[in-house]
Structure 1
Amino acid sequence: MTGVTLNQAVKRYGDVQVIHGVDLQVEDGEFCVFVGPSGCGKSTLLRMIAGLEETSDGKIHIGERDVTRMDPSERGVAMVFQTYALYPHMTVKENMGFGLKMNGFPKSEIDSKVKAASDVLKLDVYLDRKPAALSGGQRQRVAIGRAIVRGPEVFLFDEPLSNLDAELRVEMRVEIARLHKEIGATMVYVTHDQVEAMTLADKIVVLRAGYIEQVGAPLELYRDPDNKFVAGFIGSPAMNFLEGTVTEGGVEVPGLGRTVPVDVTLPAKGTAVILGIRPEHLDVHIGQGALKAELSEALGGVSYLHLDTPTGERIIVEERGDERANEGDTVDVTFEARRAMLFEKESEQRIR
């Protein structure tokens, strides 16, 4: 296996530039996830690595090879798409081995590679079935198996779980994580689901409008985001943001009706800032304050309490334990100063 390097990679469609000088190093054997909102360029970037989209400028290397102008078939990659794209008239075994058959591999070698892949993916008992007799998760495993038998240097996944229901998504996340550990391949994975990104990735690349906002390990991005966009995108539910003004020794937050302490170096007094605090870092005090509980989403072990502030800003609080607020309650929220993050209002960059 081998890594992937992008050096000032650019993609243009006519006069419109959608990928803006991306520099990225995916290490050998690393599981790298591209994440971001719809239209941020994550699938385009993946297709540029695969050779399905032409790179307008810059370089792409797979290992030591410059593959920028190579055909997809010459790049040593295998791609798993959102749709399974299985041949309905072929069995699982035939689907998995079809690419090798078309490339003239002997039957014995095809059978050996298919058997090895089916062992890894636990598809042995389904080899004689056709796709119509499989569940969505099983079909996606067949599509992954078809990629494995090719023995690629790099696996590329383009939102492979988005067509599955919630239960199957969890099951397939576990399967893909196990597969990566078992075969140790370099994998680049695209998703809009930050939960998938957090649970699967060694490295997350957060994209917005064709630019990389931040690259890092999942918990690194969660604990130490560079800007408001990354802070709001990583973490579920999303971080709460409240406008405020720097005062002597803290930040005056109209939405909370008071000045709160923050454990950062404050800019000049009077500076407009944005205070960020995660739902899980807030403590609720029922019967106090001026916040009204509009909705409580009870999920069993955890509840998400939605609060309205006097300024019209919304706050979500994660509640655990037996005593939880109900809809219509008046509450207040507090937090430890070290948990608060501060962002410049105009640039939205983190103040540290």
Structure 2
Amino acid sequence: MSGLQLTDVIKRYGKTQVIHGIDLTIEDGKFCVFVGPSGCGKSTLLRMVAGLEETTEGTIDIGGRDVTRADPAARGVAMVFQTYALYPHMTVAENMGFGLKMNGYPKAEIAEKVAEASRILKLDDYLARKPKTLSGGQRQRVAIGRAIVRGPEVFLFDEPLSNLDAELRVEMRVEIARLHKEIGATMIYVTHDQVEAMTLADKIVVLRAGYIEQVGAPLDLYNDPDNKFVAGFIGSPAMNFFDGVNAGGLITVSALGGAEFAAPLSMVGDGPVTVGVRPNKVTLSEGDTHRVDLSERLGGVSYHYVSAADGSRIVVEAHDQEAPPPGTPTGIAFDVADAYFFDTKSEARLR
């Protein structure tokens, strides 16, 4: 298996630039997830690695080979798409081995590789079936098996679970994580679902508008975001943000009843600042400055949606089954040590 190196990679469509000088190293055997909102460039970047999109500038190296201008078939990658793209008239075994057959591999070798992929993906009981008789999760496993038999240096997944229902997505996340552990291959996975990113990745690349916002391990991004965008995107429910004003080293937040916080040492000069705090660090407290709008009781966890006097929405995560009725006055509380501070204009983290 091999790692991947992107150096100053740029993509333009005519005069419109959509990928802006990406520099990224993905080490051999890592599971890397590209995550971000729709239109951020994550699928475009993946397709550039696959050779399905031309790279305007920069270089792409796989296993130390410059593959920037190489044909897709010569790059040593295999791609699993959102759609299964299976041949309906072929059996599962024929679908998995079709690429090798077209490349002239001996029948015995094809059968051996298909059998090994089938063992890994637990498809032995389905090899003689046609795709129409399979569930969505089983079809996606066949598509992954088709990639495995090729023995690629890098596996590429383009939102492979988007067409599955919630229960199957959880099941397939477990399957893909197990697959990575068993075969140890380098994998790059594209998703807009940060839960998938957090649960699968060794390394997450957060993209916005064709730029990398931050790269790191899942919990590093969660606990130490570089900016407001990453802080709000990583974590579910999303971080709460409040507008504040710094004056003389004290930040006042009107949405929190005029609460005051000491400004971070890195903040120079008076002016607007954004205060962030995660829902699991906020609690309901005595008071009447806020109002409970709705409570979602999910059993082991509850989410309380609270309105401040200025209309701001606050999400509070609680691990009990008690919930105040809608319209109940309340206060909220949190430890300032759990708060994050961001420059309102640049959105950069103030540490």
TMscore range, shorter length = over 0.9
| Equivalent residue, structure 1, for 2:267 | 267
Identity rate, percent: 67
| Equivalent residue, structure 1, for 2:139 | 139
Q: 3-state DSSP class of the match of 2:255?
A: coil
| Equivalent residue, structure 1, for 2:238 | 238
Q: 3-state DSSP class of the match of 1:79?
A: strand
| Equivalent residue, structure 2, for 1:301 | 300
Q: What code does the residue aligned with 1:350 have?
A: R
Alpha-carbon distance in structure 1 between the residues aligned to 2:258 and 2:344: 19
Alpha-carbon distance in structure 2 between the residues aligned to 1:205 and 1:143: 25
CA contact 1:262–1:341 (8 Å) conserved in 2: no
Q: What code does the residue aligned with 1:37 have?
A: P
| Equivalent residue, structure 1, for 2:344 | 345
Q: What code does the residue aligned with 1:175 have?
A: E
Alpha-carbon distance in structure 2 between the residues aligned to 1:36 and 1:13: 20
Alpha-carbon distance in structure 2 between the residues aligned to 1:257 and 1:247: 17
| Equivalent residue, structure 2, for 1:292 | 291
Q: What code does the residue aligned with 2:289 have?
A: A
Deviation at 1:262, TM superposition (A): 5.3
| Equivalent residue, structure 1, for 2:55 | 55
1:68-107 equivalent positions in 2, closer than 5 A = 68-107=68-107
Alpha-carbon distance in structure 1 between the residues aligned to 2:42 and 2:209: 9
Q: Deviations over 1:167-203 (max 9, x none)?
A: 0000000000000000000000000000000000000
RMSD of aligned Cα (Å): 1.2
Q: Does structure 1 residue 174 correspond to structure 2 residue 141?
A: no
Q: What code does the residue aligned with 1:57 have?
A: E
Alpha-carbon distance in structure 2 between the residues aligned to 1:84 and 1:92: 12
Comparing 219-228 with 260-269, which one deviates more in the overlay?
Answer: 260-269
Alpha-carbon distance in structure 2 between the residues aligned to 1:36 and 1:335: 29
Deviation at 1:249, TM superposition (A): 5.6
Q: What code does the residue aligned with 2:130 have?
A: K
Alpha-carbon distance in structure 1 between the residues aligned to 2:337 and 2:323: 24
| Equivalent residue, structure 2, for 1:216 | 216
CA contact 2:248–2:270 (8 Å) conserved in 1: no
Alpha-carbon distance in structure 1 between the residues aligned to 2:267 and 2:58: 39
Does the C-alpha gap of structure 1 residues 85 and 285 become closer, same or farther in structure 2, counting only changes over 3 Å? same
Q: Deviations over 1:238-268 (max 9, x none)?
A: 0010000124564210001122335842624
| Equivalent residue, structure 2, for 1:15 | 15
Alpha-carbon distance in structure 1 between the residues aligned to 2:118 and 2:246: 60
| Equivalent residue, structure 2, for 1:197 | 197
Q: 3-state DSSP class of the match of 1:151?
A: coil
Alpha-carbon distance in structure 1 between the residues aligned to 2:262 and 2:33: 32
Q: Does structure 1 residue 334 correspond to structure 2 residue 333?
A: yes
Alpha-carbon distance in structure 2 between the residues aligned to 1:282 and 1:268: 28
CA contact 2:295–2:323 (8 Å) conserved in 1: no
Alpha-carbon distance in structure 2 between the residues aligned to 1:268 and 1:209: 29
Q: 3-state DSSP class of the match of 2:323?
A: coil
| Equivalent residue, structure 1, for 2:251 | 251
| Equivalent residue, structure 2, for 1:115 | 115
| Equivalent residue, structure 1, for 2:26 | 26
Deviation at 1:59, TM superposition (A): 0.3
CA contact 1:35–1:193 (8 Å) conserved in 2: yes
Q: What code does the residue aligned with 2:347 have?
A: E
Q: What code does the residue aligned with 1:62 have?
A: I
Q: Does structure 1 residue 312 correspond to structure 2 residue 311?
A: yes
Alpha-carbon distance in structure 1 between the residues aligned to 2:5 and 2:127: 37
Comparing 29-38 with 248-257, which one deviates more in the overlay?
Answer: 248-257
Alpha-carbon distance in structure 2 between the residues aligned to 1:247 and 1:61: 50
Alpha-carbon distance in structure 1 between the residues aligned to 2:269 and 2:112: 70
Q: Deviations over 1:130-169 (max 9, x none)?
A: 1011000000000000000000000000000000000000
Alpha-carbon distance in structure 2 between the residues aligned to 1:291 and 1:251: 20
Alpha-carbon distance in structure 1 between the residues aligned to 2:239 and 2:294: 17
Deviation at 1:107, TM superposition (A): 0.5
Comparing 148-157 with 241-250, which one deviates more in the overlay?
Answer: 241-250
Q: What code does the residue aligned with 1:235 have?
A: G
CA contact 1:33–1:189 (8 Å) conserved in 2: yes
Q: What code does the residue aligned with 1:155 have?
A: F
Q: 3-state DSSP class of the match of 1:265?
A: coil
Query: Where does the alignment leave 5 or more consecutive residues of structure 2 unmatched?
Result: none
Deviation at 1:324, TM superposition (A): 3.0
Does the C-alpha gap of structure 1 residues 266 and 253 become closer, same or farther in structure 2, counting only changes over 3 Å? farther
Alpha-carbon distance in structure 2 between the residues aligned to 1:269 and 1:283: 31
Q: Does structure 1 residue 3 correspond to structure 2 residue 3?
A: yes
Paired residues in the alignment total 351
Q: What code does the residue aligned with 1:89 have?
A: H
Q: What code does the residue aligned with 1:216 have?
A: G
Comparing 59-68 with 240-249, which one deviates more in the overlay?
Answer: 240-249
CA contact 2:114–2:149 (8 Å) conserved in 1: yes
Q: What code does the residue aligned with 1:206 have?
A: V
